[in-house]
Amino acid sequence: HERFIEKYGTVVCHQIQRKLFGRVYYTPDQEQYEKFLQAGGHDTMCPSLCGDAARWTVKAIEEHKREYCTKT
C-alpha span between 67 and 40 (Å, rounded): 39
C-alpha span between 10 and 14 (Å, rounded): 9
Q: Domain limits at 10?
A: 2-69
Contacts 24+ apart (CB under 8 A), 8-16: 8/49, 16/49
Higher per-residue pLDDT: 70 or 24:
24
Q: What is the pTM of this model?
A: 0.74
Q: Please tell me the predicted confidence (pLDDT) of residue 71.
A: 63
Instruction: Give me the number of domains the chain comprises.
Output: 1
Q: Which of 23, 60, 58 is nearest to 38 (CA)?
A: 23
What's the length of the chain? 72
What backbone phi and psi angles, to 5 degrees, belong to 41? Answer: -50, -50
pLDDT over 90 at 32, yes or no: yes
